[in-house]
Amino acid sequence: MAKALSNRQVSSIELTQMYLQRLKTIGKEHNAVAELTEDLAFKQAKQADETPGHSILHGIPFGVKDLLATKGIHTRWGSPGHADQMFDYNSTIVQKLEDAGAVLLAKLEMIELAGGGNYNVANASRMGPCLSAWDKKLWAGGSSSGSGATTALGCVGFSIGSETSGSIVCPAAFNGCTGFRPTYGRVSRHGAMALCWTLDKLGPLCRSAEDCGIVLEAIAGPDPKDGSTLTQKLNLRSRGPKPKIGLMKETFKESKADACDKAYQNVLTILRKQGYETAEVAYPDLPYNAAVDLIVNAEGASAHEHFIRGDRFQQLQDINQVAGFAAALEVKAVDYLWAMRLRSEALKANAVWDKCDCIFTPAFYHKAIPADQPFDKTWVDMGGDNGPSNLLGWPAMAFPIGFETGAPIGGQIIAPALREDVCLRVVRDFQRNSDFHLRRPN
């Protein structure tokens, strides 16, 4: 698109018109659109067409998860209890993309309050269940549901999502697009709804690894408005020999995941043909996921305490979230501090990087799950163990690796902190020698 815009083969206004039409039809059919920003989009597109571009993103239409503040436009956090919420400023990430000349088309739907409180149904969203780009009977994943669905459906050029514990990886996997979860602190969270201050990350969902790298370069960097941002400069250039890929002990047979096993082995075949070496690795045996759950519950309850104690709390769609948030107010300080101490002990997991430069694992052992059934009846079975990578703020890139009965299966490359370049390099090499990221839903 950037090349077509530069060559005047298409205008930003034409792209904006096309994408808005798809958002109004296909996007809304999938419950993926929180609010269109049509007037702003045409204003920005007109300006992009009339001014010289200084960025690859100049004139490219995009959407953002509806937890990012957008000046004068509703930011509802996916929650019926925040239906009239609006901010008078842009989040840093929205402002950076605007400064790059990108065109904001829409706020994209999400699981209410980014899934805090342990939701149990896909319907836990103001607009109802967001549906997979490939099959309307399936869920688009959470909590960045709309970001994953609209990107895969070709309703936006790219989108922005957030992840606390799987919310970029999941919709990328379920919709067959590529999602980039950067190192914790790589992207400013100023103006983003907080679920868990010490775990929240923001990142792009795109059609390819290459596009993810372009968007991440535009949004990364320190921000005086967010004291947790990193001062180390992002460097996505490939460095040194090909990274060695670590492989976990995956339980394909126990999970009856034959399609995932086949896709997983195919990825390894393709990468090994390109000269990538592999090594078996394992994390130290620690209760990573239990620590993540405790931290999310405690910090989420603190972040939303006034809402939980207020009159609109009962308006949340999922009764499990209502109960979960209420119970989270009672998390004991001693338990939260145990989780934070475990986090320090979990640094032992960095020992895996002595044996490899990144880890390849399925994102899930299966395709997207049904949108009309509680999760405890169709449990989301994540591949590998995502606890250490989220707990320690490591970057990861999720990408399509195959199909199961017509719907995509996702894998992910996890790398050490600050080594987003490794994720990009491996997935880009795979995508240059495969076509799963080029396939489109009907």
Catalytic annotation, pick one of 144, 165, 167, 389: 167
CA distances from 284 to 102, 249, 335, 348, 388 (A): 43, 13, 21, 7, 10
By CB atoms closer than 10 A (0-12, 13-18, 19+), residue 25 is exposed
Q: Buried (b) or exposed (e) across 337-346, using 16+ Cβ within 10 A?
A: eebeebbeeb
One-letter amino acid of 379: W
CA distances from 392 to 166, 167, 199, 200, 345 (A): 13, 16, 8, 11, 10
Cα separation, 328 vs 297, whole angstroms: 5
Q: Is 332 a catalytic residue?
A: no
Catalytic annotation, pick one of 12, 65, 188, 367: 65
Cα separation, 275 vs 264, whole angstroms: 17
Catalytic annotation, pick one of 143, 147, 159, 162: 143
Cβ–Cβ under 8 Å, residues 267 and 411: yes
Cα separation, 94 vs 63, whole angstroms: 10
Helix (H, G, I), strand (E, B) or coil at 26: helix
Cα separation, 133 vs 148, whole angstroms: 8
Cβ–Cβ under 8 Å, residues 111 and 142: yes
- CA geometry: angle 274, 277, 280, nearest 5 deg: 145
By CB atoms closer than 10 A (0-12, 13-18, 19+), residue 46 is middle
- Long-range contact set of residues 49-52: C-beta below 8 Å, sequence gap at least 24: 49/11, 49/12, 49/13, 51/101
Q: Is 167 a catalytic residue?
A: yes
Cα separation, 177 vs 258, whole angstroms: 21
Q: Is 238 a catalytic residue?
A: no
Active-site residue set = 65, 143, 167
